[in-house]
Amino acid sequence: MPTALITGSAKGMGRAMALALAKDGYDIAIHYLNSKEAASNTAQEAQNYRIKSKIFQADLRNAEEAKGLIKNVADYFGSLEVFINNVGNYHKGKLSELKNNDWHEMLNSNLNSTFYCCQAASHIMREQQFGRIINFGFAGSEFISAKPSIVAYQIAKTGVILYSKALAKSEAKNNITVNVISPGIIETSISQPLSEIPMQRLGKLEEIVGAVRYFLSPVASYTTGTTLEISGGWNL
């Protein structure tokens, strides 16, 4: 069976993706930082689909731990066909009050973690001559516009898109696709300004899962370096 690693998959959106791919027949690597019990519960539920699932702990802000996670998953399952990068903290507040620690945390947890993991995962996929990488941005992160209250987060996520495009171009010859899903306001989002969404509703986890399934499907084998927004028209 092919193996999928979803970072931050103990809870929420990551958990939904992990269980969906388990249902689709993937062996699942569940990554967590602090939520060991939740990760174990997700892995146990995934095993109901008669696939292998194991939990792995790592702080992906640390380059060595990120590299170690990828290696440990590939060693345990014997391969790594799918890597979904779902981690990244969020910060919102007045720009005048943005602290150095918050700035670095946004870059470390969103952009640097993506770089560390993707560099390691693409190395394994290159040897396999196959791989599917999905990173996460946020709706509007492709466009340069002033968002003072989330500027550190915005810069990190825009960086994820630029890095993903570069990696997609570099690895296309190796049958590795790299794409980005940019959610808007989802049912699990911390902030839920419903009035700003043209469709006047929150996004559903199943809609994120649908995008993941598309990028992993054979019909998307010629699709790489793209960003798919799932946002109900938010930030248009």
- Walk along the chain (236 residues) and give the pLDDT tens digit of each residue: 899 999 999 999 999 999 999 999 999 999 999 999 999 999 999 999 999 999 999 999 999 999 999 999 999 999 999 999 999 998 999 999 999 999 999 999 999 999 999 999 999 999 999 999 999 999 888 888 888 888 999 999 999 999 999 999 999 999 999 999 999 888 877 777 777 888 889 889 999 999 999 999 999 999 999 999 998 888 77
Alpha-carbon 127 to chain mean position: 22
Indicate the class that CATH gives domain 3-230: alpha beta
Catalytic residues: 153
Q: What is the dihedral of CA 9, 10, 13, 17, to 10 degrees?
A: 50
Q: Do 174 and 129 contact (CB within 8 A), yes or no?
A: yes
Q: Which residues contact 189 (CB under 8 A, 6 or more apart)?
A: 183, 202
Percentage helix, strand, coil for the chain under 3-state DSSP, each rounded to 5: 50, 15, 35
Cβ neighbours around 49 below 10 Å, total: 16
Kindly list the strands in the beta sheet with 27-32, ordered across the sheet, starting from the edge strand earlier in the chain. Answer: 53-57, 27-32, 3-6, 82-85, 131-136, 176-183, 227-230
Please state, in angstroms and as integers, the Cα–Cα distance from residue 179 to each residue in 81, 167, 191, 192, 214, following that order.
Answer: 14, 9, 25, 25, 11
